[in-house]
Amino acid sequence: MAPDPSLASVAVPAALPGERVSGSRRSLLRLPAVYRPDHDSLLLAETVAAEDIVGARVMDLCTGSGVVAVAAARAGAEEVVAIDVSRRAVLSARLNLLAAGPRTIVRRGDLFAADPGGMYDLIVSNPPYVPSEDEELPTRGPARAWDGGTDGRAIVDRICREAPRRLRPGGRMLMVHSELTNHRRTIEMLEREGLEASVVARRDIPFGPVMESRETWLRDTRLIADGPRVEQIVVVRATVPASGDVLDGSPR
């Protein structure tokens, strides 16, 4: 992750995969302290755009600026519900989704609590996932967008536990996070819930300011090894069986 708090907006490609748009770039509004869409956000947006989601109901958890929600709306989703705990992120996403096309709703809240009982065809998320020295998650400031506890999984694990019960039969989840966050554990957790899960996209990226700021600690704790200062980000895709069955038999 490489946020740049000096920018008030960020340029993202005007064309999603499969579209033809002449050389322009669209700009997303972003209030101070809202996560600037970076390699992880764009990889997830590209993956979402490649999914068949025409007519789908989509939830975007930890929406930030709303870049992935915008991608889902432009890919043909019937409804997009974007959620973030940050007031500034919610306002940024609302502004960016004004012209998104289908029905779009932006809510402030703590993950699924912002939409009790809602069921979805697709859940997407770029959650805070960077390991940090402090087990307690920040409650304000830009670090809230990336700090994920000492193993980076404080939010990731919560999503893995609850998302399966918010997906309709045949529904899918797409979540992006770092290799440092242990994507194998993500897959194992989702498979224990009865979903079929695998990595569907990968990208190697150079360390940004956040990784650089804690590089010594990451090496001391052996979360990263000596060598190239490169991090791999992955998108995990999980699918509910068409029957809707999950491990505990919860109805869909």
Distance separating alpha carbons of residues 66 and 83, to the nearest angstrom: 9
Share of the chain above pLDDT 70, in %: 85
Confidence of residue 102 (pLDDT cuts 50, 70, 90): low
Q: Per residue in 107-146, pLDDT tens? A: 999 999 999 989 999 999 999 999 998 888 888 888 888 8
Distance separating alpha carbons of residues 72 and 58, to the nearest angstrom: 7
Lowest mean pLDDT among 123-127, 139-143, 178-182, 244-248: 244-248
| Single-letter code of the amino acid located at 161 | R
Confidence of residue 223 (pLDDT cuts 50, 70, 90): confident
Confidence of residue 250 (pLDDT cuts 50, 70, 90): very low
What average pLDDT score do residues 180-199 get? 95
Confidence of residue 218 (pLDDT cuts 50, 70, 90): confident
Instruction: Give the closest residue to 200 by CA, choosing from 162, 241, 240, 238.
Output: 238
Structure tokens at 145: 């967008």
Structure tokens at 75: 């890919």
Confidence of residue 182 (pLDDT cuts 50, 70, 90): very high
Share of the chain above pLDDT 90, in %: 59
What average pLDDT score do residues 218-235 get? 85
Structure tokens at 231: 């991090």
The confidence score (pLDDT) of residue 30 equals: 87
In this structure, the dihedral spanned by the alpha carbons of residues 221, 227, 233 and 236, taken in order and rounded to 10 degrees, is -70
Alpha-carbon distances, residue 118 vs 47, 167, 173, 252 (angstroms) = 23, 9, 15, 11
Q: What is the DSSP secondary-structure string of 186-230?
A: HHHHHHHTT-EEEEEEEEEEE--HHHHHTHHHHHHTTSS-SS--E
Domains and CATH numbers, the chain: 37-239 (3.40.50.150)
The confidence score (pLDDT) of residue 20 equals: 36
Residue 37: DSSP 8-state: P
Structure tokens at 217: 């600690």
39-50 vs 67-74: helix crossing angle, rounded to 10 = 20
Q: Mean pLDDT across the chain, nearest whole number?
A: 85
The confidence score (pLDDT) of residue 28 equals: 83
Distance separating alpha carbons of residues 221 and 37, to the nearest angstrom: 28
